[in-house]
Amino acid sequence: MTAAPTAGPHAGAPLPDGRDPSTQPDRLSGGALGLTSVLFCIVTGAAPLAAMLFNVPVATLGAGYASPAAFAVATVALTIFSVGYIAMCRRVTSAGGFYTFVTRGLGRVLGLGSGLLIALCYMVFTAAVTGTMGYFASTTVASLTGLELPAWVYMIVGLGLMTVFALFHIELTAKVLGVALVAEVVVLAVLAIGVFASGGAEGFSLAPLNPLAIFDNPAAVQVFGAGASGIALFAAFWSWVGFEMAPNYAEETRDPHRIARTATYGSVIGLGVLYVIISYVYVTGWGLTGATEAVQAQYAGEIASAFYPLTDRYVGAWATVLMEILIVTGSFACAMAFYNTSARYLFALGREGVLPTTLARTSHRHSPVTASITVTALVGLYCLAFVLYDPSNEGALLKLGTWSPLLGVLGILGVQALVSIAIIRYFRTTARDGFRWWSTLVAPVLGFAAMAGACTLLVVNRYDLAGASDAAFIVLLPWVVLAVFVAGLVLGLVLRSRYPDRYARIGQFEVTP
């Protein structure tokens, strides 16, 4: 497909206010997405099925049968963070998301540091989920057809398909994501009905919902010798990565302020309810101690997933096969959602002259074509490095798919902490008329505390999370995050001293709905 650059949605014709469109920055396709489409883009990024099959065992590794409580704690923390975040969304409409918010609240230098870091994080997430998809595609196809191909073959195919979809209108992508999302939720709901109808292995208990059990869980101690609250909370927070994408699609929605509010709250709370229910279904299906023993069996390679025996037992083998297929399509949809957000961050940075302005070129369908191709190249190189390090299928899952999210989540949580501070300062200075004691002060303070605490737990527990105490990637992980952020700060200072015009544009582009 040939993508023709365009100066905006009305290339060649005067804009309504008489301005020459050739002097205006490229624009994304305004009014293309409604609330449902934005929800599909956001919630699919969280990948409900992949989050449950991958993160519930990790949360159980840390908190034993209290993994549902870990998801409940994360739901509350992220809902509180969203209060101030939504207040900011009502004032700022731009594809820059976190980057724009930090810039408006804390200045251009800190904003640029956040922008580079968040763009890196989403590309890392894209690569990580592509690796996970490759692993599950390889094992699923081999199980169903006998055809054995390495995970990296499916990774190439998946990244190629993401690139093709990115070149088309965003509405097509939203429809593809929507189909994958609905299918994932249906299969999880069927499992829940089966477990609840039978009463599970030992009946129903409130113990899995007790937050105190996250920190001292007898089942985790009995099976693993110890538990780690940091591991459990990391798994929970990682399950929501992508919920904050609504502002990144603001320029392409019909009513950006209303949709951003509804989509963010809907995704945070909706996913939270789903995650708590399904993790409770998992624990109930196995029993309090059995849930932990099943994770031990999965990590020992005795079973492919701790969820598959549950669908066999409570629903039927057909549900297990369906789950095996949907984990592949769901992982692909998740990677594509991260891919799209990565492209929009690069697009925003290019449009404002921070990165090469070619990144702001759009196709005649108003997709960020150059930014998308750049994401393909960078994600491809990142994946290639991991494949060369470990070309095995297990390497795609346990290294690319497990180590990379540690880097990405640490960066995301750090930026979210900065966003909390930015919200407070923005409404105490620039937008004093919008200051509210709860939404723009107390909630951001609590959000900052939650994000900072989660960052600390992740850094302290990163060796256990990765299962590798001496890997250079894990040892250097927090320093890589810091280095990228500092590189953004340095770039901001250079622009301020040498290119004041470009510096003045940092984080300032906004679409008036």
How does pLDDT run across 172-202, given as a tens digit for each residue?
555 666 676 778 888 999 999 999 999 999 9
381-389, Cβ contacts within 8 angstroms, sequence gap of 24 or more:
382/123, 382/124, 382/127, 383/127, 383/130, 383/131, 383/152, 383/155, 383/159, 386/127, 386/131, 387/152, 387/155
- The pLDDT > 70 percentage for the chain reads 81
- pLDDT tens-digit map of 352-381: 888 888 888 876 666 788 899 999 999 999
Task: Provide the 10 A C-beta neighbour count for residue 381.
Answer: 10
The single-letter code of the amino acid at 395 is G
Instruction: Name 43's Cβ contacts closer than 8 Å, sequence gap at least 6.
Output: 181, 242, 267, 270, 271
Contact 49, 326 (CB under 8 A): yes
Residue with tokens 């920190």: 215
CA 108 from centre of chain: 25
| Predicted pLDDT at 493 | 95
In angstroms, the CA 407 to CA 391 distance is: 21
pLDDT bucket at 85, cuts 50 / 70 / 90: confident
Compute φ and ψ for 216, nearest 5 degrees: -150, 85
Write out the two tokens for 57.
């065992």
Greater model confidence, 169 or 380: 380
Task: Provide the 10 A C-beta neighbour count for residue 389.
Answer: 12
Q: Dump the DSSP string for 303-335.
A: SS-TTHHHHHHHT-HHHHHHHHHHHHHHHHHHH
In angstroms, the CA 501 to CA 495 distance is: 8
- pLDDT tens-digit map of 41-79: 566 556 788 888 888 988 888 888 999 999 999 999 888
- pLDDT tens-digit map of 120-129: 998 999 999 9
Contact 78, 264 (CB under 8 A): no
Polymer length of the chain: 513
CA 105 from centre of chain: 23
Question: Once rounded to an integer, what is the mean pLDDT over residues 332-358?
Answer: 84
Question: Once rounded to an integer, what is the mean pLDDT over residues 83-98?
Answer: 74
Burial class (CB in 10 A: 0-12, 13-18, 19+), 303: middle
In angstroms, the CA 460 to CA 113 distance is: 24
Write out the two tokens for 468.
């590798």
Greater model confidence, 42 or 287: 287
Which domains are delineated in the chain? 34-505 (1.20.1740.10)
Mean residue pLDDT across the chain: 82
**Angle at alpha carbon of residue 120, lines to 115 and 123, rounded to 5°:** 130
Does residue 25 surpass a pLDDT of 60? Answer: no
Eight-class DSSP state of 339: H
Nearest Cα to Cα of residue 285 among 229, 219, 209, 205: 205
Does residue 14 surpass a pLDDT of 80? Answer: no
Contact 7, 26 (CB under 8 A): yes
State the greatest distance between any 2 C-alpha atoms of the chain, in Å, as a whole number. Answer: 73
Burial class (CB in 10 A: 0-12, 13-18, 19+), 22: exposed
Question: Once rounded to an integer, what is the mean pLDDT over residues 382-399?
Answer: 91
Window from 216-230, 332-346, 443-457 with minimum mean pLDDT: 216-230
Eight-class DSSP state of 95: T
Eight-class DSSP state of 399: I
Greater model confidence, 468 or 447: 447
pLDDT bucket at 345, cuts 50 / 70 / 90: confident
Distances (CA, A) of 357 to 26, 167, 271, 350, 351: 10, 18, 37, 5, 6
Task: Provide the 10 A C-beta neighbour count for residue 298.
Answer: 20
pLDDT bucket at 302, cuts 50 / 70 / 90: confident
Residue with tokens 């949907």: 326
In angstroms, the CA 98 to CA 117 distance is: 10
| Predicted pLDDT at 44 | 58
Instruction: Name 293's Cβ contacts closer than 8 Å, sequence gap at least 6.
Output: 223, 286
Question: Once rounded to an integer, what is the mean pLDDT over residues 471-488?
Answer: 94
Write out the two tokens for 312.
């066999």
